[in-house]
Structures are given as C-alpha cells and as structure tokens.
Amino acid sequence: MTRSTTPLALLADLVADGGVTVLSGAGLSTESGIPDYRGATGRARRAEPMTYQRFTGSAEARTRYWARSHAGWRHIARARPNAGHRAVAELERRGLAGGVITQNVDGLHQAAGSARVVELHGSLDRVVCLSCRARTPRDALDARLRAANPGWDAVTGQINPDGDAALPEDAVAGFAIVDCAACGGLLKPDVIFFGENVPAPRVADCFGLVTDAALLLVLGSSLTVQSGHRFVERAAALGTPVAIVNQGPTRADPLAVLTLDAPLGPALTTLLDLLPPGPALP
C-alpha cells in the first residue's frame, strides 16, 4: 500500500489538522503491565466487582476490598508510562491534542506528561473520606496499612485494571483496615465504584472536550460500557469524525470513520513519525 492509503497514514492525515480529543481505556495501559478487562490481556475476574452499596454497607466487604487493593496497589504504583502514553503527551506538546478523557485510574497519562487529563472514573493514587470528604495521597494510606499489618505479605494472583488483586481467604481474613486519620470516617479510593454516578461537573467537562474536538481519537477501549460510549455517540451526533485504535473490535466501530486493530505503543509511535515534528524543545 502507498503511504496515502495505509490506515496509519490516513489517521495521520486526520490528526495533523489538530483539535484532537483522546478517549483512552485500559488497553492503552497493557504495555505498562496492567491487564485490561476484555482485550488480549484481559482475564476473567475471580470476584464480583465491588459496588458502592456493598462497600459502605458491609465491614466484611470493606476488609476484603482493602486487603485486595493494598496488595494490588504495589503493582499499580510500580507501573510506568509506555510508548502509547508518551505518544499522547507528545500530541499535546505539538499542539495537535487539546485534552484526554481517560477511563483508566492508573495516572499514567499524567506521568507521561499529559497536562489536560479528565479522569472519568477517578484515580487510585488518592483516597477520600466518606464523612469529611478529605482527600489524601494513596502512599500515605499504604504506609498506615503496612503499619497496621506488620508482616502481612500476601501472595497475589491476577491484577485487574482497578488495582484489585486476587488473594487467598486467610490473607483477607487477617487483614486490618484503617479509617480517616482526621475524623475516623470510612476511607474509599477516589474512584467510581459500580452503583456510583460520575460527578456531573466531570461529565460536563468531558462533553465539553468532545464538543470542542475536530477529531475524537479512541485508544485502547472496547467501549462496551456506556460511560465511555456516550462520548462517541455525542461526537457522531455532532458530525465530528471518530477514529479508533484498539486490539479487537469495539462497540463503536460502526460510528467510526477509521478503525485500526493494532498494539497501541507501536502504532502511536509510528503515527508520530508520520506527523510534523512540532516546535523544538527549549
């Protein structure tokens, strides 16, 4: 194929005009060692996803959640941005991308250098008190949990994109949780659980990025969940082109002007090579 007809070259033509809003999902982080839910590295869950109602209504559920999340946090905290995250940040640096809507909770876009990121489902690196609403760093909670559980070193199984790790029952049963250091209230990761609604101002911010976009570029998401699919629906309703790079089909393929089934890191690195270099770094 000639350059003008390869899928990446066609994508480069779309991206080169600027005004790109990126919508990213778990597939973008698989090359950083974080499995996705439904793609090539996805694994079947061994437990039902935690709901807000179960978390707030059951001390046993909270103990189970925090034990699994404490073990999984070690894996998430060690993860580093991959070539895909760095490519997205570079698109912003070159003035081609105006912002990122991410369904991920791993903070890797910001770690790669992206400045305008809306975390649709929150972030695992923060903890919120459900009583006083104070937000504190996850590292501080990690230190408190380590102190409350001396010698606890569970052997983990699968790790999910939300930082949840499979654990043996004895490791869960013997785990001690801690409450808010300021008021004694229940602590929860600053992420959206099943049964919770994304805050309306955050949703409005996302829709604003879609409305302002000349191109919605979906990266690493099957868009199975309506939480992300609605932004593609809005772009299509506005007549804004949608391009999708993902490993495997997506729910929104019929709405896209271009789809590319490829590993994200290599594809986005090649995309950058096809685009103008942008301003020189100071």
Q: Binding site: which residues?
A: 25-45, 103-106, 129, 132, 180, 183, 220-222, 246-248, 264
Q: Which two tokens stand for residue 235?
A: 């772009």
71 within 8 A of 127, measured Cβ to Cβ: no
Q: Which candidate in 70, 85, 109, 121 is catalytic? A: 121
119: number of Cβ within 10 Å: 24
Could you identify the residue written with the tokens 């005004």? 19
Among residues 45, 46, 9, 29, the alpha carbon closest in space to that of 83 is found at 29
The strands making up 258-261's β-sheet, listed across from edge to edge, are 117-119, 97-102, 20-24, 215-219, 242-246, 258-261
Residues 6+ apart with CB under 8 A from 45: 160
Pairing of strands 187-191, 122-129: antiparallel
What is the rounded distance in angstroms from the CA atom of residue 68 to the CA atom of residue 74? 11
Binding site members for Zn(2+): 129, 132, 180, 183
86 within 8 A of 112, measured Cβ to Cβ: yes
Kindly state the helix (H) or strand (E) to which residue 92 belongs, with its residue range. Answer: helix 83-93
What is the rounded distance in angstroms from the CA atom of residue 66 to the CA atom of residue 211? 38
Binding site members for NAD(+): 25-45, 103-106, 220-222, 246-248, 264
| Residue 85 known to be catalytic | no
Q: Indicate which residues carry an active-site annotation.
A: 121
